[in-house]
Chain A
């Protein structure tokens, strides 16, 4: 099968990207019970399963919004594998015992495996970005939050009671600071941008 063939289950990804409640509910109804029973059978409880599912949903939404996520495998397999690996990683983090997470993954170019790897890289990048954003000073955080929520820089300036020129310059420098940090991070070299 050609790698670029989009699976008909793409409807689920599109539904998530459009925040379509009917689609989201059908994902909960059809695919979540399997995840819940897997987590409950592997040292987890229902609340933990709920959190894992929620995080994966948000990951899929972000990924769909950021780079037009195109599904080349069934949604069921993709979603289950993502949740399962997320859960095993959590277990690994909480106990320091080595939990093998790769053993029952198909080892060759399965489309599912490829898609999961891409999603995990994306997730890692998101987490790194989130972490760095938290490291910014409060002033920068507030200004960036406002300028990306309000969009009009004139309004942002008015809200913060400073000049338009100042907010524009400050915004460049805050994003510049983040850019600089990323450049200094070796970890980013392995995470592909774009």
Chain B
């Protein structure tokens, strides 16, 4: 292997050559075909590795996985969940709920507190802590789930895990900590952006800070999947 040559390529790409060396290098690129071809491949490799290990590429993969999981999961669960008796139960609950709301002047956190199930561990995943956190969360044992989430987040900080961790904090009344985490997600770029904003509003609702709750709700775009809930809460706050 022509070691000197590769060291020269690297120095050229890292801009470490003197003006004179650089001029020599560039003139060799013009005249020496073998040298130029070799350099082009070297440069291709540099670009490839730069992209492969860039934080953007890593974030993109995580984001795609989480959107994909979500997309395919909702499709599957629809098939199972839409049995007619579910509709009947849902309808009667809604009516009761409506009657109940009628008597209440202000909406409460409990009215909207309906956290979704966590499903991190799927398709052969074997992260034990994540499984424990998931089980505790789904069993509504939030006090137990929080420290496990914290351990997991130290090594694997994905928006999905952070989102469920924040809900656990909110349920456990660690409101300040919950709000910091929701805000973090709210200003991020993940699919949990809008959901986190919604929960941030719910946290304000829990504190009966209706004005902040409303202000936050108004920032949620109308293509948010649970926008009807947002609308409902806004109407009640008026």
Binding site for B on A (CB under 8 A): 16, 19-22, 24-25, 28-29, 32, 46-47, 50, 53-54, 57-58, 61-62, 65-66, 126, 129-130, 133, 144-145, 148-149, 168-169, 171-173, 175-180, 182-183, 188, 193-194
Q: How far is the CA of A29 from the CA of B49 in the complex (A)?
A: 32
Establish whether residues B53 and A148, one from each chain, have CB atoms under 8 Å apart when the complex forms. Answer: yes
Query: How far in angstroms is the closest Cβ of chain B from A62?
Result: 6
Establish whether residues A183 and B38, one from each chain, have CB atoms under 8 Å apart when the complex forms. Answer: yes
Smallest Cβ-Cβ distance to B59: which chain A residue: A19
Task: Check if B112 is an interface residue, CB within 8 A of chain A.
Answer: no
**A-contact bits for B166-200, CB 8 A (1 contact / 0 none):** 00000000000000000000000111010000000
Complex partner residue of A54 from B47, B48, B64, B190, CB under 8 angstroms: B64
Complex partner residue of B38 from A20, A65, A171, A179, CB under 8 angstroms: A179
Establish whether residues A148 and B50, one from each chain, have CB atoms under 8 Å apart when the complex forms. Answer: yes
Complex partner residue of A180 from B1, B50, B67, B190, CB under 8 angstroms: B1
Beyond A173-B6, A177-B1, whether A19 also contacts B56 by CB under 8 A is: yes
Q: How far is the CA of A90 from the CA of B1 in the complex (A)?
A: 37
Establish whether residues B189 and A21, one from each chain, have CB atoms under 8 Å apart when the complex forms. Answer: yes
Q: How far is the CA of A57 from the CA of B37 in the complex (A)?
A: 31
Establish whether residues A66 and B1, one from each chain, have CB atoms under 8 Å apart when the complex forms. Answer: no
Query: At the interface with chain A, which of B68-76, B89-97, B101-109, B136-144?
Result: B68-76
On chain A, the residues within 8 Å of B87 by CB distance are none
Using a CB-CB cutoff of 8 Å, which residues 220-237 of chain B contact chain A? Answer: 223
Complex partner residue of A179 from B42, B51, B64, B68, CB under 8 angstroms: B42
Q: How far is the CA of A126 from the CA of B55 in the complex (A)?
A: 18
On chain A, the residues within 8 Å of B41 by CB distance are 179, 182-183, 188, 193
Smallest Cβ-Cβ distance to B3: which chain A residue: A173
Residues of B in contact, count (CB < 8 Å): 46
Beyond A21-B67, A54-B64, A54-B65, whether A194 also contacts B40 by CB under 8 A is: yes
Query: How far in angstroms is the closest Cβ of chain A from B111?
Result: 28
Beyond A46-B72, A149-B53, whether A175 also contacts B63 by CB under 8 A is: no
Identify 14 new A-B residue pairs, CB closer than 8 A, beyond the known A61-B57, A183-B38.
Answer: A21-B190, A21-B193, A29-B71, A50-B72, A57-B68, A133-B49, A144-B53, A145-B53, A175-B10, A175-B46, A176-B6, A178-B45, A179-B38, A179-B45
Query: How far in angstroms is the closest Cβ of chain A from B123?
Result: 8
On chain A, the residues within 8 Å of B56 by CB distance are 19, 65
On chain A, the residues within 8 Å of B59 by CB distance are 19
Q: How far is the CA of A129 from the CA of B47 in the complex (A)?
A: 11
Q: How far is the CA of A19 from the CA of B235 in the complex (A)?
A: 34
Beyond A28-B67, A46-B72, A50-B72, whether A175 also contacts B45 by CB under 8 A is: yes
Q: How far is the CA of A72 from the CA of B168 in the complex (A)?
A: 47
Establish whether residues A66 and B47, one from each chain, have CB atoms under 8 Å apart when the complex forms. Answer: yes
Smallest Cβ-Cβ distance to B56: which chain A residue: A19
On chain B, the residues within 8 Å of A183 by CB distance are 37-38, 41
**A-contact bits for B30-45, CB 8 A (1 contact / 0 none):** 0000000110111011
Establish whether residues B68 and A53, one from each chain, have CB atoms under 8 Å apart when the complex forms. Answer: yes
Q: Select the residue from B45, B63, B190, B191 with max chain A CB neighbours within 10 A.
A: B45
Q: Select the residue from B11, B38, B71 with max chain A CB neighbours within 10 A.
A: B71
On chain A, the residues within 8 Å of B3 by CB distance are 172-173, 176
Task: Check if B157 is an interface residue, CB within 8 A of chain A.
Answer: no
Beyond A149-B53, A176-B5, whether A19 also contacts B42 by CB under 8 A is: no
